[in-house]
Amino acid sequence: MAQAHGHHHHHHPADLGDRRVLGAVLVNLALTVAQIVGGILSGSLALIADALHNLSDAVSLVIAFAARRIARRPSDAGMTFGYVRAEVVAALVNYTTLILIGLYLLWEAWARFLDPQPIEGWTVVWIAALALLVDVVTAWLTFALSKESMNIRAAFLHNVADALGSVGVIVAGVLVILYGWWIVDPIVTAMISAYILWHAISEIGGAIRILMLGAPEGVETGEVVDALRAADGVRDLHHVHLWQIDESKLALEAHLVVDPGAGMDRADAVKARVKAMLAERFGIGHATLELERPGDACGEAETIGHDAERDREEDPGRDPAHAH
């Protein structure tokens, strides 16, 4: 993924990516109108459910489109890390919306299951087939971008769930035409809901982890600490913080206690070696290292993070975020 989610995409320049997302928004909005009208005329809850989900597709794509553009803004005095996390926030919003939609559809399916309603099978089949075609087009427009961005991936999953929902609606319509099985409509709606919930719940954790400054998935903090301790010239370390700035950029800060007697030149060499090791072995490209002599090291410091409660007890006026 390119830096800052869109400064430069090697295979998908920012303008091309924006046009694809915007095109997907327009076709999904048109489809939503057709599905809602068709659902009302045919009496199909599954078709209306699919329309609501498709509307969420369009909204999710609008959010994704806006987040892509915001994320490309440069750092400034107010946002010193830049705006790259706009895409992570957008992903969180979209996954949360998916969960709410899934729960709503599950509730509606249960109500229709208790009180089945007749539906017009052919209307359902034709509109759902149109929806499936639009879903395929939207998937084509966003698939490649979804590999590069959590934000677009959330919108893409909206679309995939909707495509499967369209297939389910077609199946329900065919069964109504052939056998008059109206009960299939709420059953298909419940299946669509279950699929939406499963995908959204499994994906939302990644966005939350980044926003909560969690250690990157796939990078063991213990391994990083062990590698730092084993580095030549490093006697000990503490106050290790490991997090993700966005999906592609990993960051670390730590206090390294260097061997006693090491001059400034040697200390600088230790720092350079450690940074090179972190980048090569763990993909951590942004490392802030504070070097300390054994006699000057922070006393009784935590290896990972810091003890905010103890910091407050030692100095009530000190901001724990800036404590040693």
The 10s digit of each residue's pLDDT in 170-224 is 887 788 788 877 778 788 888 888 888 888 898 899 899 999 988 988 889 999 9
**Calpha distance 275→291 (Å, rounded):** 13
- In this structure, the answer to whether residues 247 and 133 fall within a common structural domain is no
Q: Is the pLDDT reported for residue 116 higher than 80?
A: no
Contact 192, 168 (CB under 8 A): yes
- In this structure, the answer to whether residues 18 and 166 fall within a common structural domain is yes
The CA–CA distances, whole Å, from 224 to 32, 49, 227, 253, 254 equal 49, 47, 5, 12, 11
* DSSP conformation class of 317: T
- Among 193, 211, 229, identify where a domain stops: 211
Quick one: pLDDT at residue 299?
A: 64
Strand partners, 233: none
Side-chain half-sphere exposure of 169, counting CA atoms within 13 A: 35
Report the domain count for the chain. Answer: 2
Lowest mean pLDDT among 17-26, 75-84, 202-211, 221-230: 17-26
**Calpha distance 260→294 (Å, rounded):** 6
Quick one: pLDDT at residue 41?
A: 77
Q: Is the pTM of this model over 0.85?
A: no
| pLDDT confidence tier of residue 10, bands split at 50, 70 and 90 | very low
Two structure tokens written together for 269: 């060499």
- Among 211, 236, 256, identify where a domain stops: 211
Give me the CATH number covering residue 155. 1.20.1510.10
- In this structure, the answer to whether residues 261 and 131 fall within a common structural domain is no
- In this structure, the answer to whether residues 232 and 296 fall within a common structural domain is yes
Quick one: pLDDT at residue 253?
A: 93
| pLDDT confidence tier of residue 308, bands split at 50, 70 and 90 | low
Residue in the block written with tokens 């005095």: 77
- In SS3 terms, 5-18 reads as HCCCCCCCCHHHHH
The CA–CA distances, whole Å, from 205 to 33, 39, 103, 135, 317 equal 32, 34, 18, 25, 35
- Residue 300 belongs to a domain: yes
- Residue 216 belongs to a domain: no
Q: Is the pLDDT reported for residue 43 higher than 80?
A: no
- In this structure, the answer to whether residues 282 and 203 fall within a common structural domain is no
Instruction: Print the domain residue range for 268.
Output: 221-322
For the stretch 141-168, pLDDT in tens is: 777 777 767 777 777 777 777 777 778 7
- In this structure, the answer to whether residues 16 and 148 fall within a common structural domain is yes
